[in-house]
Amino acid sequence: MSVTGLCTFRLGGILLGLPVSEVQEIVRSSHITPVPLAPPLVKGLVNLRGQVMPAIDLRWRLGIERGNREPGIHVILSHGNELISLPVDSIDDVMNLSHDRRLPPPETLNRPLRESCGAAWDLSDELLLELDPAKLLRGRDSESAE
């Protein structure tokens, strides 16, 4: 049975995951410099050891309610030739999941969330939503169609 490694984290109480191969590292607290005129997807810029990368407003992207505090842990995603920071609330674990637990994203998810998911994983007590980086970074362009 083939196994997929996912780096999992939480945002607004939802358990999310990204393929381990696409995650470069986890950084605790990093200052986000806002960028005037930036699209809503981009929260600002982050400096990671001399490299400047955009930080994604994941809550906006996934249609998750704003919480009391700003997510302060950055998952550094390596996508294409670029690094992108995803600020989240907390880091969970790296899980190796066998493919018989893999499900299509549930229809009941809100639209922005469902559109950024590649798959859902049944963890018996909870559902893990696997994000698809390419879909995630495309932004919420389907919004206008709704």
Partner 1 sequence: MPPIDENLREFLIEGHENLGQVEQLMLAMESGPTPAARAEAVQSCFRLLHSIKGGAGFLGLKHLESLGHGAENLLAKIRSGEIVPEPGHFGWLLACVDGLKKLLATIESTGTDESAAGDVSAILASFGKKPPPAAPQAAPAKPVETKPATPGLPAQPGSGLAMLHPSVVPPSVADAPSEPEGAAAGASMLAEATVRIGVETIDRLMALASELVLARNRIVQASESIEDAGYQAATRQLNLVTSELQEVVMRTRMQPISGVWSKLPRMVRDLARHLGKHCRIDLEGGDTELDKTLLEAVKAPLTHLARNAVDHGIEPPANRLAMGKPAEGRILLRASHEAGQVTVEMSDDGRGIDASKVRSKVASQRLASADDLARMSDSQVMQFVFMPGFSTADRVTEVSGRGVGMDVVKTSIESMGGSIDLSSVMGKGTTVRLRLPLTLAIIKAVIVRVGTAHVAIPQAGIIELMRLDTEKNIRAVTRVGGGIYLRFRSELMPLIETAEVLGCSPEESFEEAFSVVVVHAEKRQFALKVDRILDSQEIVVKPLPSLLKGIPSYSGTTLLGDGSIALIVDPVGVARLAGLHGRRGESLDVAEASKPVESRSLLLVESTDGRLQAIPLDAVDRLEEIPREKIEKAGDSTVVQYRGGILPLFDASSAPTRPLDISAGGPDRIAVVVHRAPSGLVGMVVGRIIDTVSETGPEEGGMAIVRGSVAQVVDPQRWLAGVA
Instruction: Please give the residue ranges that form the binding site for partner 1 (CB under 8 A).
Output: 31, 33-39, 41-42, 45-47, 49-54, 80-82, 84, 137
Least distance CB 57 / partner 1 (angstroms): 11
Least distance CB 139 / partner 1 (angstroms): 8
Instruction: Report whether 23 contacts 78 (CB < 8 A).
Output: yes
Least distance CB 61 / partner 1 (angstroms): 12
Least distance CB 31 / partner 1 (angstroms): 7
Closest to partner 1 by CB, 6 vs 86, is 86
Closest to partner 1 by CB, 6 vs 53, is 53
In 3-state terms, what secondary structure has residue 74?
Answer: strand
Distance of alpha carbon 36 from alpha carbon 72, whole angstroms: 21
What letter would DSSP give residue 33? B
Instruction: Report whether 92 contacts 9 (CB < 8 A).
Output: yes
Closest to partner 1 by CB, 34 vs 67, is 34
Two tokens at 111? 């639209």
In 3-state terms, what secondary structure has residue 73?
Answer: strand
